[in-house]
Amino acid sequence: MVRVLLPAMLRPLAGDEGALEVVAPTLDAVLDSLGVEYPALERRLRDETGVLRRYVNFYVDGEECRRLDGAKTSLADAKEVQIIPSVAGG
């Protein structure tokens, strides 16, 4: 089981939860699971082809998933996935 941490801006899309517990072998599977229960959240995390959105960062136990194996990153030994959307503006 992995704990998925959501920032305040995404919580309304997940029933106002800040952390969700998910059983999944990969990051992709976590997002699949979240998409079943929270489709609006998934649309903010992946595009219509299922690819991770560029402006959203996914950290697996503190390491950015794109430096690992991207959406295919194994969560076998992971405890936490943190989702952090990029913030732009001036």
Tokens, residue 41:
């959240």
Model-wide pTM > 0.95 = no
Is the CATH number of domain 2-85 3.40.640.10? no
- Render each residue's pLDDT in the chain as its tens digit; 90 residues: 999 999 999 999 999 999 999 999 999 999 999 999 999 999 999 999 999 999 999 999 999 999 999 999 999 999 999 999 987 765
Closest CA to 20 of 9, 28, 31: 31
Q: What is the pLDDT of residue 87?
A: 78
Q: Give the DSSP per-residue string, the chain.
A: -EEEE--TTTGGGGTT-SEEEE--SBHHHHHHHHHHH-HHHHHHHB-TTSPBPTTEEEEETTEEGGGTTGGG-B-SS--EEEEEE-----
Domain boundaries defined on the chain: 2-85
